[in-house]
Amino acid sequence: MSSSVLPAKVVVVGGGIFGVSSAVHLARFGIDVTLINDGPIANGASGRSLAWLNSSRKRSADYHRLRMIGMDRYRTLAARYPDASWLRFDGGLTWDADDQKNEIADVFAYERSIGYDAQLLSAGDVAAVTPGINARAITPQGAIFNAGEGWVDLPSLTNILVGEFKERGGQLVTDAGRAAVTTAGERATGVVTASGVRFDADTVLVATGANVPPMTAEVRKHIPDATPVALLVHTRPVDHALQAVLNTPRVAIRPTPTGALALDSAWSEEEVIVHADGTYEVMDSTVQGLLDEASRVLDGNPKLQLESFGVGPKPIPGDGDPVFGQLKEIAGYYVAFSHSGATLGLIGGELIAGEIATGHPHPLLAAFRPERFD
């Protein structure tokens, strides 16, 4: 749906990577933009994401293409910041458990068939390709090394983008509490915060992560939601040679700008206790289990110590694919909701901002419109 009136003023709700990226791209168009967040910038999923930049394993052709373009935008950014400690392309290494569900051979064949840079390595070959991995932890089926993959520290990136946003005249409103989109007839008219402050706008972009589905439900638009709880553990800085992102059966690991490690896994997320009041409890045994699993797959089995952890919703649409674009039923009401926030952060913001600024839907987002759920 193309908007009949191009916006002079836009309000973006959500201070994660999609909201910040969209806001700065809109500011580059010369549009008057206000960015509103319920707390500090990157206080949600963007602040507790493994932030692995990739398009590995199997997904739809449309989704793969968008992720590959998303990675390309990060390479462009890396050329601007060649010495950045918060953005690295040192590859990714993955292996599966030694059981009947091991898909490494099939995944390798698939990745090669679509031209994705992939090497199938035996345990003994890994050290010559990427350092820091305990070869004894790699299962007999081998591991796949994807040389084009990397990682980004999203809080660092959002701070840089917010700096540009302010320089371009954007208005930043933090600690605003929960915001609601206001409408008149079949058009978005702005946003009202929890304290009653109103921000009028021609167009509103809702990029609130796991809160996108409940917000669109307020205007009777259903977006299926498969959001789980995420747990990201940061270790204290450790002297170690690891460079690649590791995705192993029991733990995923990436380096951080401080020399620490970021850890997550599916099993540890399942152990998070969600109380009736919506608060979370993480058991010491869960955190220690992650630290132990990480030590086991690293060369030398270093002793890892907890620095901090973050817990909260991990935004995932019901069908797993991103949801980008304008609600068909309400002119000027756009959404951005996706699991792959890091990989798609820059390109998602660029394309959505372009649609808002020009009124023309972008073909790269055609498969990801909200109306697919109608």
Q: What is the CATH number of the domain that holds 17?
A: 3.50.50.60
In this structure, what CATH number is given to the domain that contains residue 293? 3.30.9.10
Asked if residue 306 and residue 236 are part of one domain, the reply reads yes
Among the three residues 276, 296, 313, which one is the final residue of a domain in this structure? 313
144 secondary structure, DSSP code: E
The values of phi and psi at residue 175, to 5°, are: 55, 40
17 with 28, same domain: the answer is yes
For residue 144, what pLDDT is reported?
Answer: 98
How many independent structural domains does the chain possess? 2
Cα(245)–Cα(292) distance, rounded to whole angstroms? Answer: 17
284: Cβ contacts below 8 Å, ≥ 6 apart: none
Same domain, 259 and 292: yes
Q: CB-based burial of residue 322 (10 Å sphere; 0-12 exposed, 13-18 middle, 19+ buried)?
A: buried
Asked if residue 294 and residue 241 are part of one domain, the reply reads yes
The three-class DSSP label of residue 258 is: coil
Return the pLDDT at 24: 98
Asked whether residue 62 is assigned to any structural domain, the reply reads no
User: Do residue 246 and residue 186 come from a single domain?
Assistant: no
Judge if 304 and 159 occupy the same domain: no
- In a domain, residue 112? The reply is yes
Helix (H/G/I), strand (E/B), else coil: 95: coil
**226 contacts: CB under 8 Å, gap ≥ 6:** 316, 317, 318, 319, 320
Q: Are strands 92-94 and 245-247 parallel, antiparallel or unpaired?
A: parallel
Nearest to 329 by CA among 373, 275, 368, 285: 373
**Cβ proximity of 14 and 42 under 8 Å:** no
Locus of tokens 């993959």 = 149
Tell which of 264, 283, 313 closes a domain: 313
Q: Position 164: which residue type?
A: E
Residues 134 and 204 in one domain: no
Please check whether residue 68 lies inside any domain of the structure.
Answer: no
Which are the contacts of 243, defined by CB distance < 8 A and separation ≥ 6? 88, 90, 91, 130, 131, 132, 255
**What is the C-alpha to C-alpha distance for residues 144 and 136, in angstroms, rounded to an integer?**
15
Q: What is the pLDDT of residues 185-237, one digit of tens each?
A: 999 999 999 999 999 999 999 999 999 999 999 999 999 999 999 999 999 99
Terminal alpha carbon distance of the chain: 14
In a shared domain, residues 100 and 203: no
Q: Using pLDDT thresholds of 50, 70 and 90, give the confidence band for residue 2.
A: very low
Q: Quick check: is 75 in a domain? A: no
For position 6, what pLDDT does the model report?
Answer: 76
Q: Are residues 202 and 340 in the same domain?
A: yes
DSSP 8-state code for residue 312: E
DSSP 8-state assignment for residue 237: P
Is 76 a domain residue? Answer: no
Indicate the pLDDT class of residue 259, thresholds 50, 70 and 90: very high
Looking at the predicted structure, is the pLDDT value of residue 104 above 50? yes
Q: Considering the entire predicted model, what is its pTM?
A: 0.95
Same domain, residue pair 199 and 345: yes
Tens of pLDDT along 287-329? 999 999 999 999 999 999 999 999 999 999 999 999 999 999 9
| pLDDT for res 5 | 61
Q: How far is CA 314 from the centre of its chain?
A: 9
**pLDDT computed for residue 3 by the predictor:** 47
Would 82 be classed as within a structural domain?
A: no
Which of 278, 298, 313 delimits the end of a domain?
313
* 280 within some domain: yes
pLDDT tens readout for residues 149-167: 999 999 999 999 999 999 9
* Contact by Cβ (8 Å): 9, 192: no
Q: Which domain holds residue 143?
A: 92-147+228-313
Nearest to 51 by CA among 74, 69, 77: 74
Distances (CA, A) of 82 to 4, 53, 253: 42, 17, 23
Mark whether 254 and 358 lie in a shared domain. Answer: no
Q: What is the pLDDT of residues 121-130, one digit of tens each?
A: 999 999 999 9
Q: Which of 205, 178, 202 is nearest to 192 (CA)?
A: 178
Distance between CA atoms of 369 and 374, rounded to whole angstroms? 10
How far does CA 126 lie from the centroid of its chain?
28
Distance CA 288, CA 83 (A): 33
Residue 30: what pLDDT? 95
Task: Flag whether 214 is in a domain.
Answer: yes
In terms of domains, do 186 and 215 share one? yes
